[in-house]
Structure 1
């Protein structure tokens, strides 16, 4: 059963219930209590007997006729003082009793009526009240009839609601599946709904949005992939030409100045090659929809990352806190290692003296890998943007330290492919603190 119908049916039943009480109170205030009217009809025989038989008696026979009625009737008739009867009635009915009218108490199955207004029946009769109890009053049947009536009304309201909500729910489930597939990387996912469906306009707008996003992302991927591959050809030609030039310079008498220029050119070529490799890595991650799930030792993978960092530390101190009990996790060890290495490379560039790599398992089974440094840190307003490709906080500093602004973007995409994330905070060392949270995946 869909949630729309459940919620709507509860709302309808609540509305019908509230409407029933409102109708009852409005009718009671305008025309009198309908249940009291029913009770009055049920007690009409006893009231008729009192008014047409007992009250028609001469004054000296009034009590005798009342006693005869007591003998033959199952209803209990009692004479009580007026002062004792008034506290038994609601304040709004006291005036009716004082006027000599029959005052019904349906809840107690009884009624009250003054014996006489002028004292003509017998001495002191104006100060007494007839109290009839155990009247044949039963409003339960009327209540049941009203209840059945409102249940039938509610059902006839809920049947079309159930049909409509069922169709609506299936359409929403279809949209939800498309949104989930699209979010998981299936950019060709589209919603299929009938034109008569109530959600058809929404589905059409969603399909248009998905098509636009798919075309933009595809154009971006194609552009990056094409640029990366096209760069390789001139770079290869430059490398070949540079090598030929080097051989020609060696044949000259003094080629030291030319050699220095060629070394600078060679460094630029190495940088271009690194840029091409990073672009291709980023493109492959964009096109990858899921990682290869294999179980591996996270501690061993992190220690391998530490070994790779030896050449990049430049005399800076690297501390590690990797517990042997961190255990296994499921995922792509190559991507995890690449993400951690990129975070450590970034920390090594900007650390003043030291950086720290630590890892621990959380109570929910997830793993946190933390990389900290004692560098200048990252401003709060920039902490989200540093994961954008080619974004740099300080371009002059990046030129001095190297890098293209792709390492953190690659690390973030690797974490997202594993269902995790990376966020930045301030480190106790004074610099940046990168926290990569990954589900165990086991």
Structure 2
């Protein structure tokens, strides 16, 4: 703080000294006419007295009168001819010819024309007030120093708080925030720091929860693989044992596929969250997109003895989006619905005149409790009714749906359907067709 204070103080003092020097050397020439008019008005009585005193005198009498005046006055007086005043400009010479008092550019020389054409030259001598000037400038410098100290200390105090908050946050105290008053001059900086700290804390907490969830999800299939391998190693050689080995091998393959599916889902979610998967925007036929999703679900719907109804309405038949990602989101929602629907799943797509697209997936299952809806889109979160992996999946599908909606600038919501089940709604805003890479439409 001391070094910064000294630098600031030195800069202010040098700037003030330069300003004073510039004023003393440039203001009189720049505003000479104004100063001349002012001095002429202020010394009008003085000039009249001098003219009356010296005007009637001639020759030696004038010289004697000038000597007496010199003894009584502080200025130095002498008589000059107009021809010798070559340093005066045309305007000053014209003023002398008109009988006016003229002020020199140094503000010390005065020229007063007398009646007989001679000119009285007066040179003012300034008194030496060095001690007073030094004291005055010292007081100004002290006042400046005190003002700068007050200003710097006020900022230094708040900056020190912000620095301490940053130090604590960097030391692992993620809940640390910079608490500064709103009147502080760095309140905006502190607000930005707090927002950054909140985002970093949320990201770290999210990563921790992800790691915990990944560890938990990987533990079960790995344990089953180890158990299956141990059974295979201890198996006998008979026909019955070989049949059991075949079943165990199939279980092991199923566990490997489960691990592969989990890793694929994790990679997909990671790419979406990091923006590593670029969006391929194109003009898509909404009805063809919905039909392709319905066709992909035909076998699953039939295996679960469900019916899938599809409805496409709205004034706009096309929408700009990434069809691969949007189809993935709809497939995740529909496959989620097949786990809980009793008899029917409804898939609807609606467009409006502004170009917004609303995608709805609804089932007639038991639905999701209101207290669970706030966390349903978090990775690895499953409602109480679907804790079993075989019915609830890995808990990543809805997180992927939410991320896809956010990538399109939209959002996804959950509420109760008309038949009591869960109704998921993806709302996508209109996209700028100029952002498309020129791909053909579907």
TM-score by length of 1: 0.47
What is the TM-score normalised by the length of structure 2?
A: 0.47
